[in-house]
Structure 1
Amino acid sequence: MLLLGPLLVRDYGMGWDERADRMVGYMSLRYVAQVLAPQVLAAGHFTNIHELATHGDADHGPVFQMLLAVLEIAFFRHDPRGAGWMRHLLTFGVFVAGAWAVYRLGRARFTSWRWGLVGAGLLVLSPRIFAEAFYNYKDIVFMSLFALAVLTLGRLLHRPTARGALGHALVCALATDVRTMGILLPGLTVAFGGLEMWARPARRAALTRALGWYLGALAPLVVLFWPFLWEAPVARFWECFGSFRRYRQTMNVFYLGELTSCQRLPWHYLPVWLLVTTPVTHTALALSGAWAVLRGLLARPTAWLRHTTNRQDLLFGAWLLGPLVVIVAIKSVVYDGWRHVYFIYPAFVLLAVRGLRAGVQAWQAAPAASGGRRLGWLAGGLLVLGGVHTLVRQVHDHPYQYGYFSFLPGSVAQRLFERDYWGVSGRDGLAWVLAHDPGATVAVSDTLSQQIALRNNSLLLPAAQRARLRFVPHAQARYFLGIYRWHPGPYEPPFGTPVHDIRVNGMTILTIFQRAAN
């Protein structure tokens, strides 16, 4: 994984929110400098940076963006292209840490490094997750930190010490300072700490002390790494959490063939998106694992909960289902597929490992020539075929794996769901235009719905090519790049003649239109 990241990082474009996310990091650093070292402002690093308290995105968790801003100032201040690649590479590095956490959780639960690798492998062999691991600074980073926090929670429950409690509090604080849904972590910690006290009375005193250390350290650490909270921690954190619930509440999303307000999305929006964008083998195994856990819990709940491994399974189940219940209960706004709940996906793959392991054990227990053995061979063959198919798709669709739909043909998917809502295909679209137009300058339409994605992606082009681009009003443009975010249907003739498409498995994610020269 660590070798793969540098090899692939230059293949991906820049996401819709990247420049806005970058500004969050710079605003937070500027505020820190104002408070702690005002002389730093004179160095010119924060010219044209907004005031933190008055900016609309001040409520976004800044901790990862602050790190990226520091590195950009130190090494890439005059190199936006290099800075973009650096940011993508470090984002992928955090994803690798999250995959390592899944491996360690699987290894601890199933007492086998091999099963731990299966869990990490299922996470990596998820096309959309893999692609977004390079440019999704919020959801993938939060997912990875959440997995690391569950890992430190498991270690704390196993060996309750002050050092373990402070380490767990630090990881939980970092996760919360990326996404406010990190507040679920103290809930999981207290709930499963209480369950552990019930199951292991001899460790009750040690667990009580450890939870005390954890709860005492968590809030100060959350505030420490989130400068926006410094002046009024409680009030501002509640403001940020409220913003998370209501953010972009006027946005329309394209779901099941209709443009719908994100405030009126049906309850099945997240489950359906999870189903259609996750490999079928992963889903089948996860359902099997969840059923095995539920069956054991309902059969003899008290005796079942006495076993450490069963409590770990319950933790995975709570991690998977708890956030979905909370989001429905608080009526939180979601959009752009299920990316806001990516952090439940490691639990999904760990339950998939649970299902696979249960199937292997059942196969091993069946008589050699029985129907169960034959059924197991058939199921195993289908799983191998499914895994190979997913791997082939992940390689074939590179670097557009974010357009992956598991079982829907591309022609059907584009009629029912949003496509490139990140806008990252814009980089390759601009590169194609510049490669095929010999003009000294190239006029590209700067329409409101496309301009953020195209201007962001232009920063990843070589400087000489970037200098040829002119973003102009649509009436003056020679080229228009259709990204299909809020325009799910075909573009009308006034946009020009289509000259190039980018497709993923038969689904068009970007079309380049050319108009006659004026």
Structure 2
Amino acid sequence: MTEKRWTGYKQAIAKLAAVMVTIAVIGCLTVHDYGVSWDELYGTNSVWWNLNRITRNEPIPGIFEYDGTVFNVATETVFQVQKKVGKLLSGSQERSERLLSRQRFESKHAMTFLTALLLYLLVAVIVGLLCGAEFAWLGPVTLALFPRVWGHGFFNFKDIPFAALFTLCTLIGAYWVAQWTTNPASPNHASSNHAPEAPRKRFPIGRDRATLAAIGYGVCVGLLTGVRAAGLVVIGLPLLAYCLMQVSQRKAIRLADVLINFIPAVLTTFIVATVCYPSSWSNPIVWFYRALTVLSNYGWDGKVLFNGEFFEPRSLPWAYVPTWIGISVPVIFQVAFVLGLVILMQKYRRFSPLQQACIVLLLLQIFLLPTLAVVRRSVIYGEIRHFLFIMPGIAAIAAAAFIWTYQALPKPSLKWASLGFLAVVLLSLGVEMAALHPYEYLYFNRVSGGLPAANQRFETDYWGLSLRQGMEWINQHDRHPVLVGGPLHSAEVFADEDVALRSFAERKLPPNLKKPFYYLSMYGGNRQFQSYFQECPTLYQVTRQEVPLAIVRRCE
């Protein structure tokens, strides 16, 4: 590497490091601002529930048998270490159950944000691969300005780790596929029409790059499956990408050789995924087949609010996913993504095999699984949460489009004007996210009418994080009992020790609950908890952009 190139490489690393440190500092300063979501109680307790059943040789009930363990076990392990260290430092001082629960959730939020940081870094690698290392820093900046990704990056313990591992699979898979398509006689070979290809050797299984990439990919897919069992389907994406690349360039598909090289990946995936699911140990082959069957027919008995109407999860219009992408992704990134796709098609044949493999796998990550979900009428709910894994690819292609467009501008004045325009748009987006904090995941773009237009038409605070702010308001007032319309734990961990809470999640009034009491409720969405106790005066509302997210009523 020449001195000039090494200097440029160091400058690229410095820029990326500065961006990543900035994102990390902002996240660390705000991670404890977020409430606790509806799903998090199970995520924190499932480790012990399932462990106790396994040790007693009892079956794990229902769908929980197939629920991911990797992230839950990792975060619970970290919390237990923190708990023991804290106990050593504070002596024998006991902490209340509420305080312990809150600390457990806070620990999980911190771990979720660390996973989000990995996701930002992976997008930087993709942008650097497509556009050059000096531009890698723009990748995490772009993804961090996807408000829903930023917001979910603090509490969504399923979909953020899944997105991070899926993106890591894409990168490792791209390197692996490149080993199949690169001429061994010319490792840096890019698409060329000048010389015939040299004879290719068979792919060995041993200590070579293709085998190491296969093993690495298998480990990553195994961990991905350990987060969500459905991640198992990702194992076949490199093979599909390879076939698409060869067909597009009218080259022979060496299927037999590739399938032989797949053996280490399949075996590694199977071993890692089996370790992640103790319930599969007695008969893992049957278990994984049953898992895919059960999950593909998974039923959810709730209703989904979409465009002002309530639907059964399997009866959603085909436009559900595209609509959510259209209203929740900032318009500037949607335009850039479409422009990026056009430029990718124009530049594709000039890319190296590694770049081509990355592009194809990235497009499969964005389009394939959402398309299959729509075609198969899979159960979808909870706004865009199940498809957060497509956002890194959209962000990477959008960032690449910014870079390529900037490079194509002929005059310095146009380049400065484009930089100024982009800076203003991104700054205004950052200001809007700050105004929504800590509910950035409620972002709706301006073309859709923003959060006010989405109120009562789409899910807003589906997760129930705003119950925290309502509970903190109650803490400052009378010590009456609190009836919670929503997840009880989302309010309870923030309640003072002398405040009694009861659950209204099943819409049944608890026995022996006497007036006066507060009714703390989620607002809107598919549950409509705010429609109860309307005879009681509303004392407080948690709002953003004048849209209520949670309410406090006093019944007496």
TM-score by length of 1: 0.84
**Secondary structure, aligned partner of 1:468:** coil
The CA deviation at 1:101 is: 1.2
CA distance in 2, matches of 1:456, 1:109: 42
CA distance in 2, matches of 1:280, 1:506: 22
Alignment of 1:65-464 (within 5 A): 65-76=72-83, 79-114=100-135, 116-158=136-178, 160-194=209-243, 210-294=261-345, 308-363=354-409, 366=410, 373=414, 380-407=419-446, 408-437=449-478, 439=479, 442-447=480-485, 450=486, 453-461=487-495
The CA deviation at 1:129 is: 1.3
**Secondary structure, aligned partner of 1:467:** coil
CA distance in 1, matches of 2:343, 2:230: 28
**Secondary structure, aligned partner of 2:407:** helix
| Cα contact 1:123–1:349 (8 A) shared by 2 | yes
| Per-residue Cα deviation, 1:33-73 (whole angstroms, up to 9, x for no partner) | 568xxxxxxxxxxxxxxx45235422211111122233334
| Cα contact 1:28–1:227 (8 A) shared by 2 | no
**Equivalent in 500, 508, 522 of residue 469 of structure 1:** 500
Q: Which runs of 5+ in 1 are unaligned?
A: 36-50, 298-302
| Cα contact 1:197–1:204 (8 A) shared by 2 | no
Q: Which runs of 5+ in 2 are unaligned?
A: 1-22, 85-94, 180-208, 504-508
**Secondary structure, aligned partner of 2:161:** helix
| Cα contact 2:66–2:229 (8 A) shared by 1 | no
Go from structure 1 to structure 2 and tell me whether the alpha carbon gap of 1:378 and 1:243 turns closer, same or farther (over 3 Å shift). farther
Q: What letter corresponds to residue 218 of structure 2 in structure 1? A: A
Please say which of residues 79-88 and 182-191 is displaced more in the overlay: 182-191
The CA deviation at 1:212 is: 2.8
In the comparison of the two structures, how many residue pairs are matched? 478
The CA deviation at 1:105 is: 1.7
CA distance in 2, matches of 1:28, 1:417: 35
| Cα contact 1:249–1:333 (8 A) shared by 2 | yes
The CA deviation at 1:304 is: 6.4
> 2:195 matched to which residue of 1?
none
| Per-residue Cα deviation, 1:260-294 (whole angstroms, up to 9, x for no partner) | 11111001101111111111111111111123334
**Secondary structure, aligned partner of 2:310:** strand
| Cα contact 2:492–2:501 (8 A) shared by 1 | no
CA distance in 2, matches of 1:183, 1:86: 28
| Cα contact 1:26–1:66 (8 A) shared by 2 | no
| Cα contact 2:170–2:362 (8 A) shared by 1 | no
**Equivalent in 24, 31, 44 of residue 46 of structure 2:** 24
**Secondary structure, aligned partner of 1:13:** coil
Go from structure 1 to structure 2 and tell me whether the alpha carbon gap of 1:58 and 1:495 turns closer, same or farther (over 3 Å shift). farther
CA distance in 2, matches of 1:59, 1:67: 17
Go from structure 1 to structure 2 and tell me whether the alpha carbon gap of 1:34 and 1:162 turns closer, same or farther (over 3 Å shift). farther
CA distance in 2, matches of 1:344, 1:167: 22
CA distance in 1, matches of 2:531, 2:419: 45
Q: What letter corresponds to residue 303 of structure 2 in structure 1? A: N
| Cα contact 2:537–2:555 (8 A) shared by 1 | yes
TM-score by length of 2: 0.78
| Cα contact 1:413–1:507 (8 A) shared by 2 | no
* Superposition RMSD in Å: 3.0
CA distance in 2, matches of 1:150, 1:71: 28
The CA deviation at 1:305 is: 7.9
CA distance in 2, matches of 1:30, 1:104: 41
> In the alignment, is residue 508 of structure 1 matched against residue 530 of structure 2?
no
Go from structure 1 to structure 2 and tell me whether the alpha carbon gap of 1:74 and 1:30 turns closer, same or farther (over 3 Å shift). farther
CA distance in 2, matches of 1:86, 1:306: 42
Please say which of residues 62-71 and 169-178 is displaced more in the overlay: 62-71
Go from structure 1 to structure 2 and tell me whether the alpha carbon gap of 1:246 and 1:497 turns closer, same or farther (over 3 Å shift). farther
| Cα contact 1:193–1:207 (8 A) shared by 2 | no
Q: What letter corresponds to residue 180 of structure 1 in structure 2? A: A
CA distance in 1, matches of 2:329, 2:139: 15
Go from structure 1 to structure 2 and tell me whether the alpha carbon gap of 1:174 and 1:467 turns closer, same or farther (over 3 Å shift). farther
The CA deviation at 1:201 is: 8.6
Go from structure 1 to structure 2 and tell me whether the alpha carbon gap of 1:512 and 1:178 turns closer, same or farther (over 3 Å shift). same
CA distance in 2, matches of 1:30, 1:133: 30
Go from structure 1 to structure 2 and tell me whether the alpha carbon gap of 1:235 and 1:134 turns closer, same or farther (over 3 Å shift). same
| Cα contact 2:242–2:357 (8 A) shared by 1 | no
Go from structure 1 to structure 2 and tell me whether the alpha carbon gap of 1:88 and 1:490 turns closer, same or farther (over 3 Å shift). closer
The CA deviation at 1:326 is: 1.4
The CA deviation at 1:31 is: 5.5
Go from structure 1 to structure 2 and tell me whether the alpha carbon gap of 1:412 and 1:488 turns closer, same or farther (over 3 Å shift). farther
CA distance in 1, matches of 2:354, 2:213: 19
The CA deviation at 1:490 is: 6.2
| Cα contact 1:128–1:277 (8 A) shared by 2 | yes
> 1:486 matched to which residue of 2?
526
The CA deviation at 1:378 is: 6.3
Go from structure 1 to structure 2 and tell me whether the alpha carbon gap of 1:227 and 1:31 turns closer, same or farther (over 3 Å shift). farther
CA distance in 2, matches of 1:377, 1:67: 46
Percent identity of paired positions between Structure 1 and Structure 2: 22
CA distance in 2, matches of 1:471, 1:145: 38
